[in-house]
Structure 1
Amino acid sequence: MAEINRDHGTSYELAGALSGGFQGGAWQIVGPDGSRAVLKSNETHGSWHRVVLAAQSKVADARRHGYPTPAWLAAGLTTQGFAYHIQEFVPGRPAERVTEPLALQMVEVLEGCAAGHRPDQYGDPRSDWSQFVLGEMTRAADSLPSRVAALGPDEAAVAERVLAFLNRVGPVRLPADDLVHGDLNLGNVLTDADGRLVGIVDIEALGAGSRAIDYASLWHSGADVADPGDSAGLNLVRAAGERSAGPAGFALCALWNALEYIRFGADLHGAVGSARAVAAAHRRLDLLAAPSH
């Protein structure tokens, strides 16, 4: 904090850790006038620090076009190799479910992200999210399904089922010029006490691609926590995703999410996390096999 204050001419003080943040940290910080902000930091790897530094201007541009994400106040790289940014504090809490009112708000946001965006050139493959996801799911060597299959027999079984599903739907093309968050799960969607959208966070990897990727991430994360009355919201999200990239395109994005969460669960929580994500992937496959409403 002292280094950041020195580099940016600020006088923030740490006010405690915020919940969430599986791959880094988030802290509430307070200025001398009592104003609150959020400090996020991650230990840099590869070109990630360039992605974070480039994101500040991308976030500002997205906000000018109405994207509901907090403004970034500063960004940088510490001498110990931590990429960080400071953003406005937005009162809210992570969404718990994809209710129909929230789904309608999210569809409005994501439809506002359609067309006119281009990948950046900052060294991160996710600057073109469509090419990244297609490459992960379809390349012959070192694909995401093959990496998941190597984790164990249960993981191999779901990876085989994913590949069989994709073989049935045939080749997939994804649009490439929508604005894409890349990890639009419920934890990154902030709502107020009445469930209304107040902000979208963890936007460092913002890039171009197909908004079906974001629809699929929201649908995937909402399906397991849904109450019986949430089917209308989930169906709205799925239908919008299928309109944006076709049923096959949406399915590929949803299955990329499912396999990525298996890999992520294994890295973060070991066998228990992987088992939960494997079960979730099978449920997603069952849902995708049924026609959308």
Structure 2
Amino acid sequence: MVREWGFMGGAFAGTDLSPSAVHALIEIEKGGVTARELGARLRLEKSSVSRMLRKLVASGEVEEAAAETDGRVKLLSLTAAGKARVAAIHAFARAQVVDALGRLGDGEDRLVLDGLRLYSRALGVWAGDDDAIEIVPGYRPGLIARITEMHARYYAREHGLGRRFESLVAGGLAEFCGRPDSPRNAIWTARQGGEIVGSLAIDGEDLGAGIAHLRWFIVDDSVRGSGAGKRLLDTALAFADERGFAETHLSTFAGLDAARHLYESRGFVLDEEHAGRHWGKELVEQSFVRRRK
């Protein structure tokens, strides 16, 4: 793997860049990152990050701009040339992965995914990062896009949901984030190395008085089984109880067995189910309710 991925010398990811510079461009592409945050994500010394960024700025692939909230903080972003470079990097990586996966038998791709996930988690424990996932309240730049992406990718792959589903997620989340000052609303993200790897929100306004609406609950593939989902759910339910909501509602559909088990372990009960096409595909839609004791 080390040889095939190019770490032994020569071109890395089809570029003339160092591995750290390639990874830096990918991190900067996600938006809202500073040099300090970049160093933390890549585990590089400040001096190394500074030298690397100087080269990327000089090459015309990265630019810096003062943050709106604090002019002393410089946010990094890709230029048009940088975006073109990252697009080529992603294309190169996809070609490698698609070619390799194409050589596997039926079901073996899932074995590879599960194995890599377990191995990554083990490496995190070895490196002392077993508590690296933190639950963070509030909005941050890129939140709407990232949460929408996690939903769209997972539900397209696992359940065949497409454009309508993604549009519903993005539109609803954008509307919710447009009313951030209500004490009855809250959103949390699970973050690892500065990256959003999970989300959940309580909307205390859209279903009527005394009802908390649990929305946009998801965790990224990379942290499934880590306990991040349980921590997000427990945080949200604690908020709902503290705010005095009589009930917490959520909408989902049949077949999400692991999620249903988690909901029921936290006091949710199935209140209603029916066939429908709300998400753009015929599904058995379900409503769960948790009543505060």
The answer to whether TM tops 0.5 is no
Larger radius of gyration: 2
Of structures 1 and 2, the one scoring higher in RCO (CA 8 A, sep 6+) is: 1
Q: Which has the higher helix share?
A: 1
Structure with more strand by fraction: 2
